[in-house]
Structure 1
Amino acid sequence: MVGASWKCRARRRELSRRSPSEPSLGPARSQNYDGGPLTCELCLRESPRFTSHHLVPRSRGGRYSPRARLCPTCHRQLHAMFSESTLAKELNSVQALRSNTEFSGYLKWARRQKGPTNFRVRRAKNRR
């Protein structure tokens, strides 16, 4: 009995040390439901991995709200440019994000980039 609990603690410790770059325990999807490659819903680029963006931030009551599949760079840029209250009130759909004048400039630039690259993201001075 004592040996079994030790093994469980060791396994939990091993799983908690797993770095985010290592593959997850569950199977990963590499294709869309229609058979095409997975793309970011904003910049429409293929990426090796994606993040899930709550269209209404969880802190504003959007825990069970719809989500968008974004590449990590678009996700970081989105949160660097807009506050959570702006995202909840004004930019709570993918269409609203794409049509926003401030963010559309970034999207035009990101679509022209080649390959799945990781861009540097800076927080906007006039974050709203």
Structure 2
Amino acid sequence: MARRPSQSTWPDPQPEAEPLTCALCGRETPALTQHHLMPVLQGRRKGMKVQDLPTVGLCSACHGYVHSTFSGADLSGPYSTLEALNEHEGVTRFVKWVRKQPVTKGVKIK
């Protein structure tokens, strides 16, 4: 009697995921966080649904920097677009620095 090949209980190997790119610094990272260009609270006050608010994918370092630097009022007003964030002098300096850091390094934001 011939042996039947046994069914493997191991999951099929997953193809290597494409690295994601941060919209602010341009680094490739395995995971991104969604940044609401208009803060959720201000969007709700204007009668918008949360799922309708515009978002961009940012690495955790950039996302933390944006929220530690700008208030909700700033993010809903003059800095409600990616272009406006990129033009800010502090963001420009941070992005220039963070691009030199490996993605695996934990970046502390003051």
TM-score by length of 1: 0.64
Structure having the higher helix fraction is: 1
Query: Of 5, 17, 24, which aligns to 1:42?
Result: 24
Task: Answer 1 or 2: higher relative contact order, Cα 8 Å, separation at least 6.
Answer: 2
Q: Which runs of 5+ in 1 are unaligned?
A: 1-29, 32-36, 123-128
Alignment of 1:1-128 (within 5 A): 30-31=17-18, 37-61=19-43, 63=50, 64-122=52-110
Whether contact under 8 Å (1:48, 1:116) holds in the other structure is no
**Structure 1 vs Structure 2: percent identity of aligned residues?**
34
Q: Which runs of 5+ in 2 are unaligned?
A: 1-16
Higher CA-based Rg: 2
**What letter is aligned with 2:41?**
S
What is the deviation of 1:98?
0.8
Whether contact under 8 Å (1:46, 1:116) holds in the other structure is no
| Consecutive aligned runs of 4 or more in structure 1 exceeding 3 Å deviation | none
Equivalent pairs counted in the alignment come to: 89
TM-score by length of 2: 0.73
**What letter is aligned with 1:105?**
R
After superposition, the CA RMSD in angstroms is 1.7
